[in-house]
Amino acid sequence: MESLAFNRVPPPPPDGPAPGVPLPEAPRSEPPNLAELFEAEESGLLRFAIGLVGRRTVAEELVQETFLRLHQVWGEVENPRAWLYRSLRNLALNHLRDRKDETELNETTAPGEENPPAERLGRNEAVGMMRLLLAEMPDEDRRLIQFKYHDDLKYQEISQRTGLSVGNVGYRLHHLLKGLADSLRSAGIEGSRG
């Protein structure tokens, strides 16, 4: 895997230039087109929508509607991935509000079912909100979280891949996680179960 280059240089202190040499810029790549974005995000969006509305056919329609809406504003959207999750969440919540009678039929828990529907919905919404927050992060921050929690790398290994010091890796991850927790709390999602 190629090493990451972080191109954010801290601003110089008021009394003079910052010590050190700026890191090299990461190679720029073309933003994905709508078809590539659909290919990359469709399954995650579908899982998110199923968790929100509980019915695959409705979830598929909502995902399709979300992509159609993105197509209409494609040139105006800075972060299409984040826009997709936010819009899908709004569409799903509108669907549930407008069709409350459909969801009330499924409110009882079947015998032997571990989590009641409301708890599953809360957990799935928390996961979706986390995906939305991650999608809105700068790429280099998202990669740090991916290295640590998806790839299960130790700080030393992340340091080798990114060129950051081990201490800086720990510092940045700590602040990224604190920011995510604060954002989840401000969205009304608290605790390990959403």
Output the six-digit token pair for 47: 């899982």
Tens digits of residue pLDDT in 52-62: 888 889 989 99
Is residue 19 packed enough to be buried (19+ CB in 10 Å), middle (13-18) or exposed (0-12)? Answer: exposed
> What percentage of the chain has pLDDT greater than the value 90?
17
Q: What is the mean pLDDT of residues 26-54?
A: 78
Q: Give dist(CA 109, CA 188) in Å, integer.
A: 24
Residue 131, pLDDT > 80, answer no
Q: What is the mean pLDDT of residues 28-32?
A: 58
Between 102 and 150, the more confident residue is 150
pLDDT band of 65, cuts 50, 70, 90: very high
Identify which of 89, 87, 75, 169 has the alpha carbon closest to the alpha carbon of residue 125: 89
Tens digits of residue pLDDT in 68-126: 999 899 889 888 888 998 899 888 888 887 776 554 444 444 444 455 566 766 777 77
Measured CA to CA in angstroms, residue 5 lies from 26, 93, 167 at distances of 5, 39, 17
Between 11 and 68, the more confident residue is 68
| One-letter amino acid of 38 | F
Between 136 and 159, the more confident residue is 159
| One-letter amino acid of 54 | G
> What percentage of the chain has pLDDT greater than the value 70?
69
pLDDT band of 164, cuts 50, 70, 90: very high
pLDDT at 37: 86
Residue 154, pLDDT > 80, answer yes
pLDDT at 157: 94
Cβ pair 131, 52 in contact under 8 A = no
Mean pLDDT of the chain: 75
Output the six-digit token pair for 162: 């990114």
Runs of H (alpha helix) within 20-116: 34-53, 56-72, 80-98, 100-104
Out of 12-21, 59-68, 89-98, which region has the weakest mean confidence (pLDDT)?
12-21
